Homo-oligomer: A and B are copies of this chain.
Amino acid sequence: MRAEIISVGTELLLGQIVDTNAAYLSRILSELGVTIYRRTTIGDNMERLLAALREALDAADVVITIGGLGPTMDDITRDGLATVFEDPLKTDEAYAESLRRFFESRGMPVLDSNLRQALVPVRGRSLPNPHGTAPGLLFETESKAGIALPGPPNEFIPLVDTYVAPYLREKTGNVGTIRSLVLRVAGMGESLVEDRVKDLMQDSNPTVAPYAKLGEVHLRVTANAPTAEEAERLIRERAARVRERLGSAVYGENDDTLEKACVELLTARGRTLSTAESCTGGLVAQRITDIPGSSAVYLGGVVAYSNEAKTDLVGVPDDMIARVGAVSEEVARALAEGARARFGSDYGIGVTGIAGPSGGTLEKPVGLVYLALAHPAGSEVRRFEFHGARPVVRHRASQTVLNMLRLSIIRSGQERG
């Protein structure tokens, strides 16, 4: 099966946004064994859209469009596909009604343009989009298919996963498959990771390739096999060998995050957490609470930005800040222990530092961060000098302290075990 992808949008064509959707879809298609011949980007122009659609349908069995399904006059994809598939649009009355209710519940007027999003092909069908107001659309003839997907990634990706991948899997009968798995590594630099798995990187199937990310390293393991099962088996075997080399530095797979690893470990051990953050300003709390189910293990936190808040809310001694400064090992420890005492949690995280761009001195430069973890057996503090802009310093600090928490929970389990 051959597919072409057409991204529609002047802001894509002018380079104002980068087309991450097309890359995502391409990966999914290649994993399904669907051959991609070409990917095209055009602006919001009906004549060029029609030309691109016709060319793509000449060459490919399936054409997938990205974007151009909004309510405005610029949004031409719906009409373009209806034209080339000779499948006129009609209003889906039930969906139009739900759109009216949606806007009314928000106290917003329902404009005629909004109701364009209820237009669906007469012979084709719509693909429900729970994350937005524009459904995906499927057009079909005996030999060809056209699929229109909305552009916002938070709508696009679930539609690809829920409808497009299963639809194509059924169509292709799924012969010949590429599978890949990402192992996520924290607390170990790219060179050291590479050094540990260098021999495994020589093989061509499965391949093992490291990618340096902000505050972590990803190792992508990719296998090619006649069946998905065989590809999965190859990957699992190779991933197990990588894990042997890297030990607990591997914290997860694919879309796992350090915060997810922490919440899962806390949940499994029945332990609780609280936070007291200065320079990360709630970033650690926000990452933890981004994980569904975190409310069972995360009791709460304090963003102690001012010295008064550090003293008043977390009990950092007034004279300690006067003596050693707010950015110090002592204050980091007092924040972690104060949070733990205040919230009555098993673990307490404390962060203090200078995220920049201003506020640095020769002795305490921008990027200096103290990270503390209080736990049932005591507390630990580590000193870092992170390089980069304010968001980078903050991200690295949150990444590192979450990894300290993760490793501490793992160690405590081993000691008890």
Known: A40-B38, A43-B36. Contact between A18 and B18, CB under 8 A?
A: yes
Kindly provide the distance from the CB of A417 to the nearest chain B CB, expressed in whole angstroms.
29
* CA–CA, A190 and B389, complex, Å: 33
Complex contacts, A290 vs chain B, CB 8 Å:
281, 390-391, 394
Check if B10 sits within 8 Å of A17, measured CB to CB: no
* Copies of chain A in the complex: 2
Check if B300 sits within 8 Å of A313, measured CB to CB: yes
Q: Is A48 close to B, CB under 8 A?
A: yes
Residue of chain B at shortest CB distance from A343? B309
Q: Is A14 close to B, CB under 8 A?
A: yes
* CA–CA, A20 and B23, complex, Å: 11
Q: Is A205 close to B, CB under 8 A?
A: no
Check if A282 sits within 8 Å of B292, measured CB to CB: no
Residue of chain B at shortest CB distance from A73? B201
Please tell me which stretch of A88-96, A168-176, A206-214, A240-248 contacts chain B, meaning at least 4 of its Cβ atoms lie within 8 angstroms of it.
Answer: A206-214
Check if A26 sits within 8 Å of B14, measured CB to CB: yes
Complex contacts, A289 vs chain B, CB 8 Å:
279-283, 303, 305, 355, 394
* CA–CA, A156 and B210, complex, Å: 19
Please tell me which stretch of A108-116, A316-324, A329-337, A402-410 contacts chain B, meaning at least 4 of its Cβ atoms lie within 8 angstroms of it.
Answer: A108-116
Known: A111-B195, A152-B212, A300-B313. Contact between A220 and B292, CB under 8 A?
A: no
Check if B71 sits within 8 Å of A191, measured CB to CB: yes
0 or 1 for each of A52-72: is its CB under 8 Å from B? (1 = yes) = 100000000000000000111
Known: A23-B17, A286-B282, A292-B390. Contact between A220 and B11, CB under 8 A?
A: yes
A:1-24 near B, CB below 8 Å: 10-20, 22-24
Q: Is A387 close to B, CB under 8 A?
A: yes
Q: Is A385 close to B, CB under 8 A?
A: yes
A:274-314 near B, CB below 8 Å: 275, 277, 279-286, 288-290, 292-295, 298-306, 308-309, 312-313
Check if B299 sits within 8 Å of A308, measured CB to CB: yes
0 or 1 for each of A332-352: is its CB under 8 Å from B? (1 = yes) = 000000000011100000000
Q: Is A105 close to B, CB under 8 A?
A: yes
- Secondary structure at the A interface, as helix, strand, loop or mixed, is mixed
Complex contacts, A209 vs chain B, CB 8 Å:
10-11, 44, 74
Residue of chain B at shortest CB distance from A103? B189
Check if A194 sits within 8 Å of B286, measured CB to CB: no
Residue of chain B at shortest CB distance from A42? B38
Check if B36 sits within 8 Å of A13, measured CB to CB: yes
Enumerate chain A interface residues (CB-CB to B < 8 A). Answer: 10-20, 22-30, 36-44, 48, 52, 70-74, 102-103, 105-106, 108-109, 111, 113-114, 130-131, 152, 154, 180, 189-192, 194-195, 201, 209-214, 220, 222, 275, 277, 279-286, 288-290, 292-295, 298-306, 308-309, 312-313, 342-344, 355-359, 384-385, 387-392, 394
Q: List 24 A-B contacts (CB under 8 A).
A: A10-B209, A14-B36, A15-B29, A16-B180, A37-B42, A38-B52, A70-B212, A72-B194, A74-B209, A74-B210, A108-B192, A113-B191, A113-B195, A131-B387, A152-B212, A281-B290, A281-B294, A282-B283, A282-B286, A289-B355, A290-B390, A292-B356, A301-B302, A302-B313
